[in-house]
Amino acid sequence: MSDATRVTAGRGTELRCGGWRQEGLLRMLENVVEVGERPEDLVVYAARARAARDWESFHALVAALRELREEETLVVQSGKPVGIFPSPAEAPIVVMACGNIVGHYATPENFDDLAARGLIMWGGLTAGDWQYIGFQGVLQGVYELLQAASREHFGGSLAGRLVLTAGLGGMGSAQPLAIRMSGARGIVVEVDEAKCARALRRGHLDSVTDSVDEALAASATGVVGLVGNAASVYRALAGNGVAPDVVTDLTAAHDALYGYCPEGLSLAEWSERRQLEPEAVAALARASMAEEVEAMLRFKAAGSVVFENGNNLRVQAEAAGVSQAFEVDGFAERYIRPLFCRGIGPFRWVALSGEEADLATLDHLARETAGREEVRSWIDLARQHVEVQGLPARSCWLGHGERSAFALAVNELVSAGRLAGPVLFTRDHFDAGGMTHPHIGTEGMADGSSAISDWPILDALLLSVSGADLVAVHAGGAGYAGYMQSAGVTIVADGTVAAARRLARSLDADTGLGVLRYADAGYAEARSVADSAGLGLRRSEATL
51-71 pLDDT, tens digit per residue, is: 999 999 999 999 999 999 999
Task: State the CB neighbour count (10 A cutoff) for residue 384.
Answer: 8
Instruction: Give pLDDT, residue 488.
Output: 98
167 within 8 A of 250, measured Cβ to Cβ: yes
Q: How far apart are CA 65 and CA 60, in angstroms?
A: 9
Instruction: Give pLDDT, residue 127.
Output: 97
Q: How far apart are CA 166 and CA 172, in angstroms?
A: 8
Separation in Å, CA 331 to CA 139, 153, 477: 15, 14, 22
473 within 8 A of 460, measured Cβ to Cβ: yes
510 within 8 A of 489, measured Cβ to Cβ: yes
Report the pLDDT averaged over residues 478-489: 84
| Lowest-pLDDT range of 46-50, 127-131, 175-179 | 46-50
Whether 544 has a pLDDT exceeding 60, the answer reads: no
Of 186, 93, 202, 200, nearest in space to 142 by CA: 186
161 within 8 A of 37, measured Cβ to Cβ: no
Whether 542 has a pLDDT exceeding 90, the answer reads: no
Instruction: Give pLDDT, residue 108.
Output: 87
Whether 369 has a pLDDT exceeding 60, the answer reads: yes
Per DSSP bridges, beta strands 435-436 and 393-398 are: unpaired
Instruction: Give pLDDT, residue 6.
Output: 87
Per-residue model confidence as pLDDT tens digits over 417-466: 999 999 999 999 999 999 999 999 999 999 999 999 999 999 999 999 99
Give the contacts of 239 (CB within 8 A, at least 6 positions apart). none
Q: What angle do CA 110, 113, 114 make, to 5 degrees?
A: 85
Q: How far apart are CA 133 and CA 348, in angstroms?
A: 9
As a whole number, the mean pLDDT across the chain is 95
Per-residue model confidence as pLDDT tens digits over 215-257: 999 999 999 999 999 999 999 999 999 999 999 999 999 999 8
Per-residue model confidence as pLDDT tens digits over 388-399: 999 999 999 999
Q: Residue 482 — left, alpha, or beta (φ > 0 → left; ψ -120 to 50 → alpha)?
A: left
Report the pLDDT averaged over residues 315-322: 96
Instruction: Give pLDDT, residue 3.
Output: 47
| CATH homologous superfamily for the domain 136-327 | Urocanase like domains (3.40.50.10730)
Of 56, 53, 46, nearest in space to 126 by CA: 46
| Among the four given CATH numbers 3.30.530.20, 3.40.50.300, 3.40.1770.10, 3.60.70.12, the one describing domain 337-543 | 3.40.1770.10
Instruction: Give pLDDT, residue 5.
Output: 64
Give the count of alpha carbons within 13 A of 52, CB side only.
22
Q: How far apart are CA 40 and CA 503, in angstroms?
A: 34
- Its pTM stands at 0.94
Kindly write down the DSSP assignment for every residue of 300-354, as one continuous string.
HHTT-EEEE-SSSHHHHHHHTT-TTGGGSEEHIIIIIHHHHHTT-EEEEEEETT-
Active site (catalytic) residues:
396
Report the pLDDT averaged over residues 1-5: 52
Whether 543 has a pLDDT exceeding 60, the answer reads: no
If DSSP states are collapsed to H, E and C, what string results for 465-511?
HHCCCEEEEEECCHHHCCCCEEEEEEEEECCCHHHHHHHHHHHHHHH
Per-residue model confidence as pLDDT tens digits over 189-223: 999 999 999 999 999 999 999 999 999 999 999 99
Give the distance from CA 335 to its chain's centroid: 17
Q: How far apart are CA 127 and CA 171, in angstroms?
A: 12
Domain ranges for the chain:
136-327, 337-543
State which amino acid sits at residue 393.
Answer: A
Per-residue model confidence as pLDDT tens digits over 321-353: 999 999 999 999 999 999 999 999 999 999 999
Q: Where are the alpha helices (DSSP H) in 394-473?
A: 402-415, 454-466
Instruction: Give pLDDT, residue 538.
Output: 65
